[in-house]
């Protein structure tokens, strides 16, 4: 245990894990809700009805409050590459920098500047321009995600580079083909898989708020909002949950063909052979065994990845040490695996948790269909409660999915090129990181509590009609910014 507290690499990983998981609570929610905010404003633009205006104002508040936390905690991520991963930054700068600069110039300015417009500019702009601003913010955030995922994907499946000696000493990756690097093998599947999951989260959050209003039934107006939110969320939810199947398949096939160690860890496969799919189980890493219930069709991973049940994959025992010649295996496409395996049980459990969460998503969609079809929502009280807690399901799916992606590629921070342990900052000491980890925990816990309180207050107050100034002013008192 003492070793952990003096291990700069382990502490840096812990700090990165804490800060990135926290950041990725708010980013998915804001990208997901951004779409619904733009949709709500589009509806208002078409109808000009006061209740649609109220709904749009409501989503703008929820969305912007969440978005700002994502922005604030995103600065941490950009700083952390240089501050905690200096050797990594030196290694990948030539490749990683371009997408990051593009993210700032092409996407981040767009979303941040127009966020201010969406938050404060309703009365100052023509309706058409205001509507455009809400879409621009969403478009900017989705574009932002693209550049970040390009950088992340390059670390998973590097392409379009060569390794050269840098002028300041040490090796570095140098760009030789921008398009090959940007559209490396995992960029497209990862982007589709990720963005779809964010919209699913948005849909489930919108449904949850709708179900909450149907439970509370404060007024006829509130029930109407509840039905509307539930229906809108459900329509988008059905589409995105169905789309997830091909997107997840693309991603899994990419892992199977380009990241054999991650695949083996996901399925707990220790020995060479066909890829069998496991349903659930436990990995004993010390003894190199997996106890699991397997999918009845043998070699199912091979069937999914390249339509061949007999395709063979290297096992974790083979890949543990040193480079492995992959040409003897019919599954993966790369020629050599550089060696090393991740924490197998963590990867295994996270992967299976994600799959279980997907099954629950389908179940929840069915619940929502039942709720919407049965006009008497009062009778579906249990289902309504389940919908209120629904967003937890996609949240867990997203977080566990990223654990698979990031833990599963260890010990490499840049697959096959740079080990995580070699990526650290040499000039930062363990006590300094311990201090900042503690500060992050305090800051982030506080931010989370305040954000939650504010959001819950907003949800409780609900969309407020502007007519009847007196009544509006009274009930929206909590929401108002003033003193």
Partner 1 sequence: MLSLISSPLAATGFIDAAVMDPTPLQILWFMIIGVLLLGYFVLDGFDLGTGALYPFIAKTDTEKAMVRRSVGPLWDGNEVWLLSGGGALFAAFAPAYATSFSGFYLAIMLVLFGLIARAAAIEFRSLERSLGGFFDAAFFLGSAVPALLFGVAVGNVVQGIPLDVNGDYAGLPLVGLLRPFPLACGLVGLSTMLLQGASWQSLKQPLESEVRARAVRLRRVLLILTLVLFALASVLYFLLVSPVVDFGTFGGILAIIAAALFVVGVIAAFVAQGNGMPATNPVTAKSQDVMSFVAANILPVSLIILTAATLFPYLIPSTGPGPSISVASAGGSELALTVMTIIACIGVPLVLIYHVMVYRTFRGRVTEDEALEY
403 binds partner 1 (CB under 8 A): no
The candidate with the shortest Cα–Cα distance to 365, out of 386, 379, 350, 351, is 386
Q: Mention every residue, 6+ apart, whose C-beta is less than 8 A from residue 391.
A: 201, 204, 205, 208
Could you tell me which stretch among 276-284, 323-331, 384-392, 475-483 binds partner 1 (CB under 8 A)?
475-483
Closer residue to partner 1 in complex, CB, 79/389: 79
Closest distance to partner 1 from the beta carbon of 446 (Å): 8
What string marks each residue from 47 to 86 as x (binds partner 1 by CB under 8 A) or -? ------------------x--xx-xxx-xx-xx-xxxx-x
What is the Cα 164 distance to its own chain's centre? 33
| CA 379, 380, 381, 382 torsion-angle sign | positive
Closest distance to partner 1 from the beta carbon of 450 (Å): 5
125 binds partner 1 (CB under 8 A): yes
Closest distance to partner 1 from the beta carbon of 413 (Å): 14
Closest distance to partner 1 from the beta carbon of 159 (Å): 14
Closer residue to partner 1 in complex, CB, 279/450: 450
Could you tell me which stretch among 119-127, 248-256, 260-268, 322-330 binds partner 1 (CB under 8 A)?
119-127
Helix axes 8-47, 50-84, angle to 10 degrees: 160
Closer residue to partner 1 in complex, CB, 86/317: 86
Closer residue to partner 1 in complex, CB, 116/246: 116
Q: Mention every residue, 6+ apart, whose C-beta is less than 8 A from residue 263.
A: 255, 256, 269, 275, 301, 313, 332
Closest distance to partner 1 from the beta carbon of 347 (Å): 29
CA distance 183 to 117: 33
| Residue 303 burial (C-beta neighbours within 10 Å; 0-12, 13-18, 19+) | middle
> Which residues inside 160-219 make contact with partner 1, applying CB under 8 A?
166-170, 172, 174-176, 178
> Which residues inside 419-458 make contact with partner 1, applying CB under 8 A?
425-429, 432, 435-436, 439, 443, 447, 450-451, 453-454, 457
Closer residue to partner 1 in complex, CB, 160/298: 160
Q: How many residues bind partner 1 (CB under 8 A)?
A: 77
Closest distance to partner 1 from the beta carbon of 425 (Å): 4
Closer residue to partner 1 in complex, CB, 14/86: 86
Do residues 144 and 198 make contact, with C-beta atoms less than 8 angstroms apart?
Answer: no
Closer residue to partner 1 in complex, CB, 361/433: 433
Do residues 157 and 185 make contact, with C-beta atoms less than 8 angstroms apart?
Answer: yes
Closest distance to partner 1 from the beta carbon of 430 (Å): 12
Q: Quick one: which of 42, 87, 308, 312 contacts partner 1 (CB under 8 A)?
A: 87
Closer residue to partner 1 in complex, CB, 29/69: 69
Tokens 């003096």 correspond to what residue? 6
What string marks each residue from 88 to 117 as x (binds partner 1 by CB under 8 A) or -? -xx-xxxxxxx-xxxxxxx-xxx-xxxxxx
459 binds partner 1 (CB under 8 A): no
CA distance 353 to 138: 29
Closest distance to partner 1 from the beta carbon of 86 (Å): 4
What string marks each residue from 300 to 339 as x (binds partner 1 by CB under 8 A) or -? ----------------------------------------
The candidate with the shortest Cα–Cα distance to 398, out of 21, 18, 71, 17, is 21
φ, ψ dihedrals at 289, nearest 5°: -130, 155
* CB-CB neighbours of 181 under 10 Å: 24
CA distance 44 to 478: 24
CA distance 283 to 294: 13
Cis-peptide, bond into residue 201, ω within 30° of zero: no
> Which residues inside 254-273 make contact with partner 1, applying CB under 8 A?
none
Closer residue to partner 1 in complex, CB, 115/301: 115
Closest distance to partner 1 from the beta carbon of 181 (Å): 9
Closest distance to partner 1 from the beta carbon of 66 (Å): 10
For 257-266, give one letter per residue: b (16+ CB within 10 A) or e.
bbbbbbbbbb
Helix axes 392-407, 344-373, angle to 10 degrees: 160
Closer residue to partner 1 in complex, CB, 277/433: 433
CA distance 443 to 252: 36
Closer residue to partner 1 in complex, CB, 62/368: 62
| Residue 81 burial (C-beta neighbours within 10 Å; 0-12, 13-18, 19+) | buried
């Amino acid at each position: 245990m003492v070793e952990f507290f003096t291990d700069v690499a382990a502490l840096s990983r812990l700090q990165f894990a804490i800060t990135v998981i926290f950041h990725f609570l708010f980013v998915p929610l804001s990208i997901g809700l951004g779409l619904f905010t733009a949709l709500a404003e589009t509806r208002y633009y078409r109808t000009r009805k006061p209740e649609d205006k109220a709904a749009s104002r409501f989503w703008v508040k929820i969305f912007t409050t969440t978005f700002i936390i994502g922005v604030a905690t995103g600065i941490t991520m950009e700083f952390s590459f240089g501050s905690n991963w200096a050797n990594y930054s030196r290694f990948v700068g030539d490749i990683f920098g371009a997408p990051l600069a593009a993210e700032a110039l092409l996407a981040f300015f767009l979303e941040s500047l127009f966020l201010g417009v969406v938050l404060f500019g309703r009365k100052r702009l023509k309706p058409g321009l205001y509507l455009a601003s809400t879409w621009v913010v969403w478009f900017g955030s989705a574009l932002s995600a693209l550049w970040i995922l390009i950088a992340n994907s390059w670390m998973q499946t590097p392409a379009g580079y060569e390794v050269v000696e840098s002028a300041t000493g040490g090796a570095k990756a140098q760009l030789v083909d921008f398009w090959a690097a940007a559209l490396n093998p995992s960029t497209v599947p990862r982007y589709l898989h990720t963005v779809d999951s964010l919209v699913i989260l948005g849909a489930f959050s919108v449904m949850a708020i709708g179900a909450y209003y149907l439970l509370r039934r404060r007024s006829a107006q509130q029930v109407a909002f509840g039905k509307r939110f539930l229906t809108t969320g459900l329509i988008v939810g059905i589409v995105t949950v169905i789309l997830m199947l091909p997107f997840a398949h693309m991603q899994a096939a990419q892992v199977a063909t380009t990241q054999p160690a991650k695949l083996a860890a996901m399925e707990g496969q220790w020995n060479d052979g066909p890829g069998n799919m496991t349903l659930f189980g436990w990995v004993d890493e010390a003894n190199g065994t997996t106890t699991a219930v397997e999918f009845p069709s043998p070699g199912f991973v091979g069937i999914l990845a390249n339509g061949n049940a007999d395709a063979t994959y290297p096992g974790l025992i083979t890949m543990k040490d040193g480079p492995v010649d992959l040409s003897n295996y019919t599954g993966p496409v790369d020629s050599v695996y550089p060696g090393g395996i991740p924490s197998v049980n963590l990867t295994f459990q996270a992967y299976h948790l994600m799959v279980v969460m997907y099954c629950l998503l389908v179940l929840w969609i069915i619940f929502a269909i039942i709720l919407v079809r049965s006009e008497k929502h009062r009778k579906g009280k249990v289902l309504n409660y389940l919908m209120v807690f629904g967003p937890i399901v996609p949240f867990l799916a997203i977080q566990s999915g990223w654990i698979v992606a990031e833990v599963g590629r260890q010990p490499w921070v840049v697959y096959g090129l740079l080990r995580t342990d070699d990526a650290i900052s040499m000039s930062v000491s363990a006590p300094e990181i311990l201090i900042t980890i503690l500060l992050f925990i305090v800051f982030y816990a506080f931010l989370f509590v305040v954000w939650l309180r504010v959001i819950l207050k907003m949800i409780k107050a609900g969309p407020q009609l502007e007519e009847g100034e007196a009544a509006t002013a009274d009930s929206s008192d909590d929401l108002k910014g003033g003193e």
